[in-house]
A = this chain, B = another copy of it.
């Protein structure tokens, strides 16, 4: 698996444009897009396509340098729309100079939050952390030195809807594009989720679809598995059933106690979540149905 351009956000000095496309598979798609870029003087630096043959869907990601491109940034989308309409494309145009804004949701576990803060500090995230939101105050001191706002929204069955409304308002005010549930121990309501379809990434501490729901390490320990895993996925209304972005596992044996599983799992969780967030921010993940295409 390749981390190729994972930290482009940091490294690129030139500005690039990225087109993410999906549509019914048909002749001329690649030629049409390549011609659009070339005709306007763009130099393609990455291009990947995928066809899900059984369902007949075409996926395409193309990235080109804007230096010397004939169209100004604001002219590209209108110009491309003609081609896109002809093929019936779903498409998104991104620019590497844009910095998507993240909100990180946490509860009490800190390792995933620390990983994201660390990657951000290194410049490895092609985005900005707009705020950290928690249902507990415990992790505030980890966030304070970074200057990133930390907001506490205590949750109980009675206040959940009201608190989510406040959160939604905050997210809108902060211009948040992506929510990352970094071991956030609350289930979001469908009402909340609909505002961020395919824009909420969760880390689940098991190798999904094994051990859905609560206390997956307990479940794994009781079952006597020989490998434990972690899974990042987009959140949908069905618990732990959203499109999977990334998974990883490590070996355990009969000698590993429940605490050992938690310890080993921590390494998996932070790595899998960090990787997924980086890929999403580089516009390399295309969810469709219960699956994702990940152009690495």
A194 CB–B CB distance under 8 Å:
no
Size class of A's contact patch? 35 or more
A207 CB–B CB distance under 8 Å:
yes
A239 CB–B CB distance under 8 Å:
no
B-contact bits for A249-283, CB 8 A (1 contact / 0 none) = 10111111111100110010001000000000000
Given A35-B31, A244-B223, CB of A3 within 8 Å of CB of B263 = yes
Q: Which DSSP category, helix, strand, loop or mixed, fits chain A's interface?
A: mixed
Q: Judging by beta carbons under 8 Å apart, are B34 and A256 in contact?
A: no
Provide the residues of chain B in CB contact with A170, threshold 8 Å: none
Provide the residues of chain B in CB contact with A209, threshold 8 Å: 210-211, 223, 225
Q: Which of B41, B54, B244, B260 contacts A2 (CB 8 A)?
A: B260
Q: Judging by beta carbons under 8 Å apart, are A254 and B52 in contact?
A: yes
Report the separation of the CA atoms of residues A50 and B5 in the bound assembly, to the nearest whole angstrom: 12
- Select from chain B the residue with minimum beta-carbon distance to A68: B27
Report the separation of the CA atoms of residues A256 and B247 in the bound assembly, to the nearest whole angstrom: 15
Report the separation of the CA atoms of residues A223 and B231 in the bound assembly, to the nearest whole angstrom: 13
A6 CB–B CB distance under 8 Å:
yes
Given A11-B259, A34-B31, A43-B27, CB of A225 within 8 Å of CB of B253 = no
> 13 additional contacts, CB 8 Å, given A27-B42, A227-B248?
A4-B253, A7-B263, A11-B259, A30-B38, A31-B34, A31-B38, A47-B47, A50-B255, A124-B263, A225-B247, A226-B244, A227-B229, A251-B251
